[in-house]
Amino acid sequence: MDITGKTALVTGANRGLGRSFARALLEAGAAKVYAGARDPRSIEDDGVVPIELDVKSPTLISAAARKCSDVDIIINNAGIMLSTSVLDDNSEKVLRRELDVNVFGPLAISKAFAPVLARNGGGVIVNMLSVVSWFVNPLNPTYCVSKRAALAVTDALRIELQAQNTRVIGVYAGIIDTVMGAALSAGPKTSPHQVALKTIEGIRAGVDHVYADDRAETIWKAVRETPEKLEADMKALWLDRRSKNNN
């Protein structure tokens, strides 16, 4: 898709990666970018159109779909990571919160805007996933569960929306240098600007999957070629963390 002159909507656009997505779309020639946030007053960038949007609110989602009837591109960026063990006393509550935002949020946005995109010629839906859509990292397992489910939703949307000429793209990255990424100290961090630019390239190229950094490329290769080693590495990581916490 040629982004020039198109209209986009970005969820969670008030900071971090969402803000970078909004800026990159404008720089790529988008005519209008709706910047969704629970508090639209938190949107500070010039050139975007702030809208009130909470991906957990059916009412606000429906209102956004009515207001943003000219949208061609949806960026499902809003997400949370609570880094909780599946054996934690609170894990069910935590997982439900992550599923609400990371899975049911993008699904609800996609369902609400699919008719809008169809009327406008098809368009693109981008779901911000993660390398942990492919494996479980013991440092944030409930988040991994939600991102695995989000990947399945993304694949299902891609299959079903092809009939209306809507492309659905999954974007994968390692640790991104944002407030969310700050909770994970291990390994290098990717700039949100890079992830946004790689996504723009993917939209233009018409691909289904965007590997936004070296970590994504490396993990995807490991998942396909050496899954047993990857799982062994994660077990070792957990044992090492457990040992340090017990000392």
* Annotation says 211 is catalytic: no
Catalytic site residue from 6, 32, 34, 147: 147
Place of tokens 């240098």: 177
User: CA-CA distance, 207 to 224, in Å (whole number)?
Assistant: 19
Written as six digits, the tokens of 116 are 């809008």
Residue from 6, 32, 34, 143 carrying the catalytic annotation? 143
CA 78/CA 157 separation, integer angstroms: 18
206: amino acid identity, one letter: G
The 3 state secondary structure assigned to the chain is CCCCCCEEEECCCCCHHHHHHHHHHHHCCCCEEEEEECCHHHCCCCCCEEEECCCCCHHHHHHHHHHCCCCCEEEECCCCCCCCCCCCCCHHHHHHHHHHHHHHHHHHHHHHHHHHHHHCCCCEEEEECCHHHCCCCCCCHHHHHHHHHHHHHHHHHHHHHHHHCCEEEEEECCCECCCCHHHCCCCCCECHHHHHHHHHHHHHHCCCEEECCHHHHHHHHHHHHCHHHHHHHHHHHHHHHHHHHHC
Query: In this structure, which amino acid lies at residue 193?
Result: H
Residue closest to 113 by CA, chosen among 220, 8, 199:
8
Which residues form the catalytic set?
143, 147
